[in-house]
Amino acid sequence: MSKIIGVLGGMGPEATADLFAKIIHATPAISDQEHLRIIIDNNPQIPDRTAAIMGQGPNPLPLLVDTANNLVRAGAEFLIMPCHTAHYYYEELQKNCPVPILNMIEESVRQACEAISLLHRIGLLASRGTIIAGLYDGIFNKRGVEVLTPRGEQLEQIMEVIYGVKEGRPRGELKPLWRPVVDDLLQRNIQALILGCTELPLVIDAAEIAVPVLDPTNILAQRAVEYARNNEG
């Protein structure tokens, strides 16, 4: 029997739906019955993670723990969490959750280092909270990889893109915000680019970018399918 996947979602809802769709597409199934059982708690009441990290909002950890344990009570055998910034609380969340939680950031770093030959410089588009907390830097730096992020007002532009997706703004309206930031990172000789916020794959077209683009939502979906089908742990 495959393991039951629990999705700690709602951060934001469209990113959660994107993960669900990518799990379906990553599953080698030819009938309904061959797909995986997935339990989703789409909890948009979880406080803003970036605001909390910046000391400007309530701590989301208690509601993250409550939501995780709600999934466990519903039958989830392991969890995935489609929010990079929420991984700031990963260790405490795992301590308070009785089932494994796959770490999207660790999985993405591993995939990047395996996929990009001689990787030593990577670009990262992410929320202010993810960047300030160094969630990717700490793991990449251990592998000898430098992480380059948006500079100055560019970070504000990426934050506007992220919240623009949450607000439902037209994708074409957001492109003039992210495109110059990507171009600047390309000029800084990045070898690849990570879309380090789950809203960004919903608006950024990887085909328009001259280096490999990694979508951690898709990486997490593929890893979740593998974990569930292999009945690991």
Give me the sheet containing 38-42, strands edge to edge. 38-42, 5-9, 78-80
CATH topology for 5-103+218-230 is: Rossmann fold (3.40.50)
CB 100 within 8 A of CB 29: no
Residue 195 β-bridge partners: 125
The model's pTM: 0.95
Low-confidence ranges of the chain (pLDDT < 50): 232-233
Residue 231 pLDDT:
61
Q: Does domain 105-216 have CATH number 3.40.50.150?
A: no
Residue 1 pLDDT:
87
**What helix, strand, coil percent values describe the chain, rounded to 5?**
55, 15, 35
d(CA 206, CA 191): 14
Q: Which residue has the tokens 């990290």?
A: 53
Q: Of the listed 192, 197, 214, 224, which one is catalytic? A: 197
197 classed as catalytic: yes
83 classed as catalytic: yes
Q: Of the listed 26, 83, 126, 203, which one is catalytic? A: 83
CB 16 within 8 A of CB 46: no
DSSP 48: P
d(CA 60, CA 86): 8
Please, where in the chain does CATH 3.40.50.1860 lie?
5-103+218-230, 105-216
